[in-house]
Structure 1
Amino acid sequence: FETMRMLMALAALAALAAMPCAAFTLSSSPLLQHRGYRAPSLACSIARRTNRVCRLGVMKEDSVVDKVFDTLFGTKKEAAGKRALEEEHEEMFMVVVNDDKEHYVDEVVKIIRKTVGRTWKDSLDLTMQIGRKGSAIVYMGSKEDCERMSEALLQSTLKAVVMRDDEEGRKLVDATSSSTEARTSVWGEKSFRNGARPRVTLIGGTGRVGAWTLRELFKFSQGEIDIVIAGRNEKMADKLKRQLEGESFAFGGREWSTMRTKLMGSVSFEPISLSDRESLARAMKGSDLVIHTAGPFQNADTKVLQVAIELGITYMDVCDDQDFAAKCRELSQQAVEKNVTCMTTCGIYPGLSNVMASSLTRQARKDSFEPQSLRFSYFTAGTGGVGGTILASTFMLLAEPCQVYRNGEAVKLEPLSMERSVDFGEEVGTRRTMLLNLPEVMTSHQILNIPNVDATFATAPEFWNVLLRGIVKVIPRKLLSDRSFASKFAAISLPINRLVDAIVGSSAAIRIDVEDKNQQTLSSIWYGRYLNQAVGVATAAMAMELLELQGLPAGVFYPEELEMIAPGREEVFLARASKDGKTNRERAADAAAATMEGR
């Protein structure tokens, strides 16, 4: 612990030393640019971000900081224009913005504040109105002014129309707000244990990964689902329930159009302990699917999977540990005997990355391109906005020797060794990656039958990569592998990580490369702006596959086997799982075209 305190003190000093540089580079930060932050100093930008999270997270009244920002940056153009027109008795027009089901809450708030000149609070209230009702009046003035404002909003990618401010125009706005789209059930003619809606138990549902998975599954299912949030934090479960019922945002608050998705089923909370089989069985009882998101998975047992198999319930997890994945696979025969379908390592990486590798390998072999090498490369800005659990998992992974495959043989290498430069595309650029022990190396070698496989990882800023190397060299492996120590270390590190996240953002990228014996390469790249949401999207996408595809083979499977057990569903999954970023299909096609020209 003395060593840990020393490392954290050094990290804090380095962060303080970096602040002057950070203050000058704020304008180029993707996160701050995206959110419209033009702070004159680092301290001001952090205060603004903190205030934004508070505003979007718990919907409090305007704070003092909020009022300061409105005074500095808000112009209230619309109110002044309206008063002037009323004095001149001119005909009034209005600009109406309609929901497009594409933008995030913070994007819309930023556009309305910047373009219309509304205050921070007004912009947020209007955004919420658009999300809940489908449209809102954002500006009023003369016809000429409204047309200019509408054009500006259209250029900012919002759907804006000009209407006359009269009884007929107001009726049209009200009709848009109150209209509901007719639709059929997302589940069609399928039946589940409790009727027409599936029941899903989320183990660890109050954590960050669990909460994002819950939200994305809610969207994919169009609210036609019964959810059991199984965890320890009943207060957070209540917040999530209120969010799904359309009353508030639990944390983050980026899904704009989701607000009108109605909860057709039920949401309940069930307290559990991962070591108590009875509490796990109680939470799972009557469910059609169990999603295990309660990490860290390093040095963990498979009790959740065992209980699911005993109860005959379909199972999936977001495991990121090679030993845990292998232990799950060993239970495959028990799953067959109970006729249960189970899948492990179903997050984003591993998870989405495994299916990307499978799809790319299949594409290569279809073109008579036999892969001899498979490389997984990952990038995360800061912590990616994830919680302490994933940070603890990263620390524990640093204690593990990295298994790679060379000519079909397993080889153990030191963590963070084998550095290489990887081009993640225009959004991220070229990054220096380092070796990490990840389960997709083992699973892809086994399932895709590729003799050379490895996985490397990079983060930003570069200081974090240096600090990770320092941790590996200074802290004993036995201590790093201890779950209690890793969790405490993560808790201490988290505030500093959050500070850095405010500067560098929370984006993520995946690059998959397959190479043949002539060193010709076929590549696929995925990029997402928010890692925490992308994890939820990928996990929920696999959950939808398991819920939709009734009658799947029994056993414990890896994501690379999706196409084998459900032909034709690989592309369906990829389309869903990559919706938050640049899709695998687009990038794979672009990369394939460029590579095939070289061939």
Structure 2
Amino acid sequence: MASAVCMAVGFVKASSTAEIRKQIGDHHRDVERVNVSRVSAEEIARNRSVLIVGGTGVVGSNTAVALNKLCPHLRVVVAGRNRHKGDKVVATLGENSEFSQVDIGDVRSLKAAMKDVDLVVNAAGPFDYMECNVLEAAIQSKTAYIDVSDSKRYAQRAKTYKNKAMAAGVPAITTCGINPGVSNLMAAVLVHNAQSESRGQLESLRFNYYTCGTGGAGRAILATSFFLLGDEAVTYHKGEKVKFSPYSSMLNVDFGEGIGKQDVFLLNLPEVESAHEVLQVPTVSSRFGTGPFFWNWTLSTITRLVPTNFLRDQRIVQMLVQFSYPLIRAVDVITGEIMSIKVDLECSDGYNTTAIFSHKRLSEVVGVATAAFALAVLEGSTKPGVWYPEEPEGIPIEARETLLRRVADGAINSVITKSFCRRK
């Protein structure tokens, strides 16, 4: 009968992977080594400019603020339809910012706004039924591109532009927010560590997310949530695609310090497919939960009572958003905007490892995460083409720690843990 000898290194709170290594010892190489030769954010910003499409929204404006804090000398162009909102955002940024009025449905207008810009950030969600006009304009104008899409449909459409982007010499990354985005990199770090230590075969990868209410992230995020309730949740089990009803198969997951145990449910999120394909993990799933608990009941009830075709209708979803958003935001004021990511990796030899990231304000950290991706692309290490965050052509292995360290600043909890069992 098999027995197990288990060794565990507990949860280590740290703002950077370098601190983790210092606390648990260099013989536990839980993340990539620091490349001390990488340039600082201030050096990146010198004579550079970034265009944020959808810059007047919650995600876009917080990205602008985060870029301004990281790189005060970076020129930030806030782009949107509403000049009044744009002027308000620009007023918070200072002299190195400006507003550009654009129509995301007009490629010509977008191309004009990209003149003399080094990078365009597409934050104009919801993305589910959006065409790739911003990406197309970026390729035509030979401008680097990232987006904050959390839609699998949009990510798949964006990936079809890979060859065009390669031919034009344009580097582009899709799904560059906090989750997906930072969560993809957390998974990539866990997989890389397991493979570099010659562990057994990769077996399973689980993405778990928790957010209080909307997390203050705005109407676009809420609309995406309703769209997801109209999709079957795609998972992978031993290499086979398996579909479940949306918001089903509840698990109670411990998100660690500041969050504790929370219920999470299956959703059809883009990182499941990208992690399965890129990281070559045969079993992958993604779950999400919200608080207070009655919001989970509400979302579960919607999946049972509202016809699927209604949840795929953009007009009906916008009506649901208009009706529910004021109520949800009122509750957000009481509950806060706390969020957490937990990624678990299991291997065939009993090696289990976890990465956790938690922050008190989703609306703030999604801007910081997007800004970190923007700086990574400006550093020039992203190859031409359209990539997912976990693809090394998008964010190279040696650049992951710098990006994660930038995001971890101000987090409640930012840890990578190692716990493994060797069977005798």
TM-score, length basis structure 1: 0.62
Of the two, which has the highest radius of gyration?
1
d(CA) in 2 for partners of 1:416 and 1:374?
Answer: 19
Which one of 302, 305, 320 corresponds to residue 489 of structure 1?
320
- 1:235 corresponds, among 80, 84, 109, to 84
Query: CA deviation digits over 1:176-225, x for unaligned, max 9?
Result: xxxxxxxx99554x7x9xxx41121101000000000000011111x112
SS in 2 for 1:335: helix
Deviation string, structure 1 residues 414-433 (Cα, Å, up to 9, x no partner):
10111111100031111111
Q: Is the 8 A contact 2:52 2:120 kept in 1?
A: yes
List aligned pairs for 1:235-254, cutoff 5 A: 235-245=84-94
**Is 2:377 the partner of 1:528?**
no
- Counterpart for residue 331 of structure 1: 161
How far is 1:368 from its partner? Answer: 2.7
Q: CA deviation at 1:567?
A: 4.0
Alignment of 1:116-195 (within 5 A): 186-188=41-43
- Report the CA distance shift for 1:483/1:564 in structure 2 as closer, same or farther (over 3 A): closer
The residue number in structure 2 matching 1:507 is 338
Q: Secondary structure at the match of 1:559?
A: coil
Alignment of 1:122-521 (within 5 A): 186-188=41-43, 196-221=46-71, 223-245=72-94, 263=95, 265=96, 267-369=97-199, 370-521=201-352
**Does the Cα contact within 8 Å between 2:350 and 2:420 map onto a contact in 1?**
no
Counterpart residue type for residue 239 of structure 1: K
The DSSP-based 3-state class of the residue aligned with 2:243 is strand
Larger CA deviation: 225-234 vs 209-218: 225-234
What one-letter code is carried by the residue in structure 2 that aligns with 1:240?
V
SS in 1 for 2:257: coil
Shift of 1:582: 4.1
Indicate the SS of the match to 1:299. Answer: coil
Q: Give the partner amino acid of 1:323.
A: R
Q: What displacement does 1:337 show?
A: 0.6
Counterpart Cα distance in 2 of 1:287 and 1:448: 33
Distance 2:123 2:70 in 1: 18
- On the 8 A contact 2:349/2:422 being kept in 1, the answer is no
Query: Which residue identity lines up with residue 513 of structure 1 in the other structure?
Result: D
CA–CA separation in structure 2 for the residues paired with 1:433 and 1:229: 35
**1:202 aligned partner, one-letter code:** I
Give distance in 2, aligned partners of 1:361 and 1:527: 20
CA spacing shift, 1:537–1:186, aligned 2, 3 Å: closer
Alignment check: 8 A CA contact 1:434 1:456 kept: yes
Structure 2 partner of 1:111: none
C-alpha distance in structure 2 between counterparts of 1:486 and 1:286, whole Å? 37
Task: Determine the C-alpha separation between the residues in 2 that align with 1:227 and 1:563.
Answer: 26
For structure 1, which segment, 540-549 or 512-521, has the greater mean C-alpha deviation from structure 2 after superposition?
512-521
Cα distance, 1:562 vs structure 2: 3.9
CA contact under 8 A between 1:347 and 1:535: conserved in structure 2? yes
Give the deviation of 1:517 after TM superposition. Answer: 2.5
| Structure-1 separation of matches of 2:407 and 2:214 | 20
Preserved contact between residue 541 and residue 577 of structure 1 (Cα < 8 Å) = yes
The 1:487/1:568 distance shift into structure 2, 3 A limit, reads: same
- Alpha-carbon shift at residue 518 of structure 1 (Å): 4.9
CA distance in structure 2 between the aligned counterparts of 1:519 and 1:597, rounded to whole angstroms? 5
Q: For structure 2, which runs of at least 5 residues remain unmatched after alignment?
A: 1-38
| 1:563 Cα offset (Å) | 7.1
Deviation at 1:342, TM superposition (A): 0.4
2:408 corresponds to: 578
Which residue does the alignment assign to 2:378? 547
Deviation at 1:234, TM superposition (A): 1.4
Question: Displacement of 1:572 after TM fit?
Answer: 0.5
Consecutive unaligned residues of structure 1, counting only runs of 5 or more, are 1-183, 246-262
Q: State the TM-score, normalizing by the size of structure 2.
A: 0.87
Q: Percent identity?
A: 38
Aligned counterparts of 1:473 and 1:519: Cα–Cα separation in 2: 38
Work out whether residues 349 and 421 of structure 2, in 8 Å CA contact, stay in contact via their aligned partners in 1: no
Partner SS for 2:390: helix
Q: List per-residue Cα deviations over 1:508-567 (Å, max 9, x = no partner).
A: 0000000122554211111100000010010000000011226x4211111002477634
User: Is contact 1:204-1:293 (8 Å) kept?
Assistant: yes
Q: Is contact 1:563-1:569 (8 Å) kept?
A: no
Alignment match, 2:388: 558
Q: Is the 8 A contact 1:288 1:313 kept in 2?
A: yes
SS in 2 for 1:279: helix
CA distance in 1, matches of 2:145, 2:327: 36
Partners of 1:509 and 1:333 in 2: how far apart?
Answer: 35
Q: Distance in 2 between matches of 1:498 and 1:479?
A: 23
Distance in 2 between the 1:358 and 1:292 partners?
Answer: 23
Q: Quick one: distance in 1 between partners of 2:235 and 2:399? A: 29
Quote how far apart the aligned CAs of 1:596 are: 3.6
Q: Select the structure that is richer in strand.
A: 2
Higher helix fraction (1 or 2): 1
Bigger drift between 362-371 and 473-482 goes to 362-371
Which of the pair has the greater relative contact order for Cα pairs under 8 Å at 6+ separation?
2
Q: 1:457 to 1:567 in 2, by over 3 A?
A: closer
Aligned to 1:148: none
How far did 1:480 drift?
Answer: 1.1
Do 1:384 and 1:506's aligned partners in 2 also have CA atoms closer than 8 Å? yes
Cα distance, 1:412 vs structure 2: 1.9
User: Contact 1:379–1:508 at 8 Å: present in 2 too?
Assistant: yes
Name the amino acid aligned to 1:324.
Y
Distance 2:352 2:106 in 1: 48
For residues 530 and 220 of structure 1, the distance between their equivalents in structure 2, rounded to whole angstroms, comes to: 18
Offset at residue 361 of structure 1 (A): 1.1
Q: Secondary structure in 1 aligned to 2:275?
A: helix
1:478 positional shift: 1.2
Could you tell me how far apart the structure 2 residues matched to 1:344 and 1:333 are? 15
